[in-house]
Amino acid sequence: MKLRSKLFSAILSAMLIATLLLPSAAEAKKLKVITTLTDLASLTQEVGGDKVDVEALAKGYQDPHFVEPKPSFLLKLRNADLLVLVGLELEIGWLPPLITQSGNGKIQPGGQGYLDASQFAEILEIPGGNVTRAEGDVHPLGNPHYWLDPNNGRRIAKGIAAKLSALDPGDQAYFQQREQDFEKRLADADKKWMAEMAPYRNRKVVTYHRSWPNFAKHFGLDVIGYIEPRPGIPPTPSHTIELVNQMKREGVKIELIEPYFDLKTPNSIASMVNGKVVVMMPSVGGKPEITDYFKLFDYDIALLTKAFEETK
Amino acid sequence: MEILQFLILPFLASLILTGIHAYLGVHVVERGVIFVDLALAQIAALGATTAILIGMDPHGTGAYWMSLGFTFVGAGIFTFVRSRQKRIPLEAFIGITYAVASAAAIIAMSKATGETEHLKDMLVGNILAVSRHDVLKTALLYGAIGIFHFIFRKRFLAISLSHNSAEASPDLNVRLWDFLFYASFGFVVTSSVAIAGVLLVFCYLVVPSVGAMLFADRIGTRLAIGWTMGTLVSALGCYCSVFFDTPTGATIVCTFGAVLVLMAMVKALFFKVRQEQPQPEKIEVRQTV
């Protein structure tokens, strides 16, 4: 009898403590956000704080044009309240059938939980007039690598904050406050990045893929050519020779490339022009130490300034 | 498990693939034209590239008929060289066709001005993202081709099992039936590759047939073993894909390999006696050689 009442009071007090410690059911409910790229996940995390559960489908070191779908992608999409994607047809090779197959009505295109981040960003290289495709495999809607400009990061974060507020109006003030805080920290960081890049303003570079126009515009780099003859087409001999001659003429030493492209041609170009190949990370998580959107620019700018220094 | 419901469509699709490919595989293995599906798939991709090159929509009907037309040309080539060149193995021509078609597709892609990412799609396929519409369409299409093959099974089998004696018999137009075989085969391969990719289609074609040949000689028995194996491997592959969270198509391919090794081991351990008794002289020859 004594033992039983002791046990009973122990259970009761344990339950009491549990109810005190655990947040109420309404508070515990977090928005489940799935993003295609890690960069969007990082921005969502900045804004959403502990009111959201964020996960990216692609890994930071993967080519976002080609991602091998896995069964878990479907499960994640099925349970998502919000899907944030880059858009501009970047994910067209793998995402659309997965969205359909997920059977999640909220995240279907046009749905309340479908957020195309490109609508908030400044998009470059939008083909004007009639798209003849004579320029190669251009994305007809503009260049989708737009998140590599901190100003766009700010704009996207603002858009995500508005969307989160719409989905969870009770936490609107929280999201707005976090978004403003993020904007402030980003502005401070950007000042530092701009200062670091200032000595190299208007330096000419070539890039492998057309992935860096927004980055180049923001930090004042002049991209004079691409190692790919057309986007998505591997380098051809005549194009490579032409590019080497142009680089020699204009004294260009730096080549920017993503980690998932073949380094053979860039390396041979580097040896011909006595230059340097810089493997820049296009996304958060490309290296273990790049854990968020800030560290992405920290990493790339450190690499780039070092390379500029070495090829003076 | 909630995730299993996502695998229903891929599993149904792989059952359809098993149905037609395990059957065609018996022909392919008997004819010794193992890589014909790779060659035809590559020719179909070349057709699609050409369609893009002349400005067609890669997902439209124009591109589909273009790649089908190319496949029929390929079927014609294989029929022609089979009848004319007896000394050179057909497999050599298939290899050459594969290499040239791949290279031509690369050249065409470099000249084409857009949407080349869809071509990679075409050869890689993605069975995880197969839609209900695809499954239904493929089931009807393959059903029709299956019926066609069932009606004329004697002629197809006669040519596959013994090409030379079929050619000698006067009441069988070998070239016509050869062409019909490769054309229907190309038809199937073009659609299958779009759903499942080259690697997976190759496995569905060849592995069940080879696995069955380990245990049986009669065509009927081989088909039964092949279909059973294909179904079990599809289920096991889909399950492993969920369990390890790996790309579904590649997981099924590796499961095929593992199951075939297992079958070979079972055969070596338990079926040894049965085989030695009826053919003792053959084994002796092998030892002396």
Give the ranges where chain B is alpha helix by DSSP (H). 8-31, 36-53, 61-84, 90-111, 117-124, 132-151, 153-161, 163-168, 174-196, 198-213, 219-244, 248-270, 272-276, 280-288
A59 touches chain B (CB under 8 A): no
Query: ipTM of the assembly?
Result: 0.70
Contact B228, B214 (CB under 8 A): no
Band of residue A130 on the pLDDT scale cut at 50, 70, 90: low
Q: Which of B120, B131, B241 sits opposite A71 (nearest CB)?
A: B241
Range with the poorest average pLDDT among B163-172, B252-261, B279-288: B279-288
Contact A91, A64 (CB under 8 A): yes
Band of residue A161 on the pLDDT scale cut at 50, 70, 90: very high
Statement: residue B288 has pLDDT above 70: no
Statement: residue A21 has pLDDT above 90: no
Pairing of strands A222-226, A254-257: unpaired
B244 touches chain A (CB under 8 A): no
pLDDT value of position B189 = 86
Band of residue B109 on the pLDDT scale cut at 50, 70, 90: confident
Distance (Å) of CA A149 to CA A124, A126, A203, B25, B282: 11, 16, 17, 54, 73
Statement: residue A181 has pLDDT above 60: yes
Average pLDDT over residues B244-252: 88
Statement: residue A67 has pLDDT above 90: no
Which residue from B11, B30, B15 is spatially nearest to B229, judged by alpha carbons?
A: B15
Q: Do B246 and A70 touch (CB under 8 A)?
A: yes
d(CA A184, CA A202): 27
Q: Do B129 and A69 touch (CB under 8 A)?
A: yes
What is the least distance, in Å, from the CA of B130 to any CA of chain A? 8
Contact A163, A154 (CB under 8 A): no
Q: Which of A72, A94, A138 sits opposite B245 (nearest CB)?
A: A72
Range with the poorest average pLDDT among A135-144, B184-193, B194-203: A135-144
Statement: residue A282 has pLDDT above 90: yes
Most B CBs within 10 A among A62, A63, A70, hence the mutation to make, goes to: A70
What is the least distance, in Å, from the CA of A262 to any CA of chain B? 17
Statement: residue A233 has pLDDT above 90: no
B239 touches chain A (CB under 8 A): no
**Mean pLDDT of chain B, nearest integer:** 83
pLDDT digits (tens, 9 = 90+) for B161-172: 877 777 777 667
pLDDT digits (tens, 9 = 90+) for A195-215: 999 999 999 999 999 999 999
Contact B257, B199 (CB under 8 A): no
d(CA A229, CA B111): 10
Range with the poorest average pLDDT among A68-72, A134-138, A294-298: A134-138
**Mean pLDDT of chain A, nearest integer:** 89
pLDDT value of position B96 = 92
d(CA B256, CA B204): 8
Contact B252, B237 (CB under 8 A): yes
∠A131-A132-A133 over CA atoms, to 5°? 95
Statement: residue A2 has pLDDT above 70: no
Statement: residue B195 has pLDDT above 50: yes
d(CA A54, CA A157): 14
pLDDT digits (tens, 9 = 90+) for A90-99: 998 889 989 9
Element at A310 (helix H, strand E): helix A293-310
Residue-by-residue DSSP string for A224-278? EEESSSSTTS---HHHHHHHHHHHHHHT--EEEE-TTS--HHHHHHHHHHT-EEE
d(CA A205, CA A29): 48
Which residues are CB-contacts of B88 (< 8 A; sequence separation ≥ 6)? B81
Q: What is the dihedral of CA B10, B13, B18, B21, to 10 degrees?
A: -130
What is the least distance, in Å, from the CA of B225 to any CA of chain A? 29
What is the least distance, in Å, from the CA of B114 to any CA of chain A? 4
Most B CBs within 10 A among A100, A233, A240, hence the mutation to make, goes to: A233
Statement: residue B12 has pLDDT above 60: yes
d(CA B287, CA B289): 5
Average pLDDT over residues B259-286: 68
Whole-model pTM: value is: 0.79
B117 touches chain A (CB under 8 A): yes
Which of chain A's residues have a Cβ under 8 Å away from the Cβ of B3?
A: 71-72, 74-75
- Single-letter amino acid, residue A229: P
d(CA A301, CA B12): 50
